[in-house]
Amino acid sequence: MRKIRGIILYITPALLLCQDIVVSKILHTGNSFTKDYVILREIQHPIDTLLDTMIAKQDRNRLINLGIFAEVEWRVIPLENMTYQLEYKIIENSKLIGGRFIGAVLPAYEEDLGWSFGGGGQLRNFRGRNESIGIAFSRGGRNTFGFQFSNPWISGDHISLNGDLAIMDYAHPYLNYEIGIKTIEFNMGRYFGENVKTSLGFEIEDWKFLADSLSRYQYFAPQGSFAFDTRDIYSNPTKGILIRQSFYSRIDINNENDNNLSWIQSISIYRQLSELSVKKPLILAFGFKTKTNFGLKDHRFQSVLGEANSVRGWSYPNRKNYLDSSQSYRFGYHLFIASAEVRKVVIPRLPIEDLYEFGMNIAYFIDIGFTGQAKYFQIFQNIPMFGTGISLQFQLPFVNVMRFDYGFGFYKNKFIDRSLHLGVSYKI
């Protein structure tokens, strides 16, 4: 570092545009708990070459997308030999309680099952290796015990591993069944290049349905996904595209029922509508999702429209809705959902007390949805459901986003319902 009379010289973004800067050294600072290799494998800017601000920004975005740092900044510092040092400054919350671990005993609400009381916790960045461990339990609308483990880069060339096990029972929200589930799940994934992400795994399920009699199903459930992802920041993308293809199947272990496969496709597109230099940009997000069902059509596994992740502005359906033949348009085995949001950044992402990431958007949304019982393309012969309203979206530790959506639901050009939704990921 060059020091002149005690002053350390840093290069401002304006100066970067008016001179050639050769990067001869790269370092990162600020991490006291995270292993260095977790950071270094995300940094791709070469040394002994001219500074590429685009690569430096992409490095910064990749580090933020790990989800374990409150903020990451980059800068260049002049050295004695007239070259420059590229530095990534990391703001890391290395505290255990309230930092890497968060837990509580609180009431919780789910749109489909109502209130439960329980607790749990999540430990992120376990061992400083970006691993995550979670445990949860609840009583009430859903009785649950669950355990989860995840490592997004456990070995090799970006190979990931995640798994979970859960035991739960609850009353079905619109069918006359008491349901008990025991499940264990494992998935392995791999990156191919910068943007292609794949995953393959399985789930073993034991389902019990209790009505007038007891029915039991045991499934082996292979599953997989493919994603092409060019988003800049996962917690609040301003540009890029996300294309996902995934499947989920159920193979009856006891050969007592026909098998089933669901094919899910989605695409999301993000574009900044304001100038790139604006700190509180206006962002357009648009996307659609389809679900196609093959094989066994069991009404106990059908999908619904009208909740936080389908068509907002509609309350989750209950038994009265299901038994009402005039509302059959809400239930089916095939889905098509399209959504658009115009998001305004109110508070850009910032580290609070240099510990906790925080940001806030306000958005206007429009959702449209089709569903049906027969063949997939026949669903477009039906009249769609609409929803529109306002969304408050908060970027917080441990979740990419928490959102509160208040909307109004329409069908056949008539106002039908209104609802407040809570979601822990973006709708698009």
Region 278-292: mean pLDDT is 97
Which of 60, 91, 122 is a domain's end point? 91
Beta bridge partners of 163: 149, 186
State residue 113's pLDDT score: 78
Region 399-416: mean pLDDT is 95
Q: List the one residue out of 359, 365, 397, 390 whose CA is nearest residue 281.
A: 359
Instruction: Please state the pTM of the whole predicted model.
Output: 0.89
Tell me: do 79 and 184 sit in the same domain.
Answer: no
Please tell me the number of Cα atoms within 13 Å of 101 on its side-chain side: 13
Q: List the one residue out of 323, 325, 317 whose CA is nearest residue 369.
A: 317
Q: List the one residue out of 258, 229, 261 whose CA is nearest residue 247.
A: 261
Region 392-410: mean pLDDT is 93
Tell me: do 393 and 425 sit in the same domain.
Answer: yes
Tell me: do 211 and 269 sit in the same domain.
Answer: no
Whether residue 369 lies inside any domain: the answer is yes
In this model, does residue 16 exceed pLDDT 70?
A: no
- What CATH number corresponds to the domain at position 55? 3.10.20.310
Q: Considering only 12-26, 206-220, 251-265, 407-421, which range has the smallest mean pLDDT?
A: 12-26
pLDDT tens-digit series, residues 241-275 = 999 999 999 999 988 888 999 999 999 999 999 99
Query: What H or E segment, with its residue span, contains residue 279?
Result: none
State residue 105's pLDDT score: 67
Whether residue 252 lies inside any domain: the answer is no
State residue 4's pLDDT score: 37
Q: List the one residue out of 240, 425, 236 whose CA is nearest residue 349.
A: 236
State residue 7's pLDDT score: 37
Region 9-38: mean pLDDT is 78
State residue 348's pLDDT score: 95
Of the chain, the percentage scoring pLDDT greater than 90 comes to 71
Cβ contact 91:397 at 8 Å: no
Q: Considering only 176-190, 343-357, 400-414, which range has the smallest mean pLDDT?
A: 343-357
State residue 11's pLDDT score: 54
State residue 120's pLDDT score: 83
Tell me: do 31 and 175 sit in the same domain.
Answer: no
Q: List the one residue out of 141, 301, 293 whose CA is nearest residue 215.
A: 301
Region 380-385: mean pLDDT is 95
State residue 299's pLDDT score: 84
- What CATH number corresponds to the domain at position 192? 2.40.160.50
- Looking at per-residue confidence, does 400 or 334 come out higher? 334
Tell me: do 422 and 337 sit in the same domain.
Answer: yes
Confidence of residue 213 (pLDDT cuts 50, 70, 90): confident
CA distance 349 to 237: 12
Tell me: do 281 and 420 sit in the same domain.
Answer: yes
Tell me: do 23 and 75 sit in the same domain.
Answer: yes
Region 7-26: mean pLDDT is 65
Whether residue 189 lies inside any domain: the answer is yes
In this model, does residue 24 exceed pLDDT 50?
A: yes
Of the chain, the percentage scoring pLDDT greater than 70 comes to 94
When divided into structural domains, the chain yields a total of 3
Region 341-358: mean pLDDT is 91
Whether residue 420 lies inside any domain: the answer is yes
State residue 330's pLDDT score: 95
Whether residue 251 lies inside any domain: the answer is no
- Looking at per-residue confidence, does 12 or 350 come out higher? 350
State residue 141's pLDDT score: 83
pLDDT tens-digit series, residues 93-143 = 877 777 777 776 667 777 777 778 888 888 889 999 999 999 998 888 888
- Looking at per-residue confidence, does 186 or 297 come out higher? 186
Q: Considering only 87-91, 93-97, 296-300, which range has the smallest mean pLDDT?
A: 93-97
Whether residue 266 lies inside any domain: the answer is yes
State residue 169's pLDDT score: 94
Region 350-355: mean pLDDT is 83
Both structure tokens of 109 = 């609400």
149 Cβ partners below 8 Å, 6+ apart?
A: 131, 132, 133, 134, 161, 162, 163, 164
Q: Containing domain of residue 49, as a range? A: 3-91
Which residue reads 């376990």 in tokens? 126
CA distance 69 to 235: 12
Which of 91, 111, 139 is a domain's end point? 91
Confidence of residue 10 (pLDDT cuts 50, 70, 90): low
In this model, does residue 9 exceed pLDDT 60?
A: no
Tell me: do 198 and 267 sit in the same domain.
Answer: no
Tell me: do 318 and 417 sit in the same domain.
Answer: yes
In this model, does residue 78 exceed pLDDT 80?
A: yes
Tell me: do 179 and 70 sit in the same domain.
Answer: no
Q: List the one residue out of 377, 383, 390, 393 whose CA is nearest residue 416.
A: 383
Task: Tell how many helices (H) and how many strands (E) occur in the chain.
Answer: 4, 24
Tell me: do 116 and 166 sit in the same domain.
Answer: yes
Please give the mean pLDDT across all residues of the chain: 90
Tell me: do 143 and 205 sit in the same domain.
Answer: yes
Q: For 14, list phi and psi in degrees, rounded to 5.
A: -65, -40
